[in-house]
Amino acid sequence: MSEKKSESAPEKPTSEEPEIPYEAARDELIGIVTRLESGGISLAETMKLWERGEKLADICQTWLDGARARIGAARSEAEDSRA
């Protein structure tokens, strides 16, 4: 039963995936990069933004890695069903 639930469940983060959606993390990261590139902010603020940017980049990478794994699993299942 739990197998069917997980297959039909909407795309929700697993315990390994972050709470923030990929698109939200990406958009916030773009804003941070824009602010950092524009300059005119203190070193302390620069470091704070950089640290947040690193965290957001990790979140985006986690989502992308998860998507890649799911695509790979789906391809394997499709190949197995053809064999």
Mean pLDDT of the chain: 85
The residue behind tokens 């064999």 is 83
Say yes or no to pLDDT of 3 above 50: no
Look at residue 56 and tell me whether its pLDDT is greater than 80.
Answer: yes
User: Mapping DSSP to helix (H, G, I), strand (E, B) and coil, where does residue 9 land?
Assistant: coil
Of the candidate ranges 35-39, 53-57, 58-62, 73-77, the one whose mean pLDDT is the lowest: 73-77
**Predicted confidence band of residue 79 (pLDDT cuts 50, 70, 90):** confident
Close Cβ partners of 63 (under 8 Å, ≥ 6 residues apart): 17, 18, 21, 22, 25
Interacting residues of 35 by C-beta distance below 8 A, sequence separation 6+: 41, 49
Which two three-digit tokens encode residue 22?
Answer: 């990929």
- Supply the pTM of this predicted model: 0.72
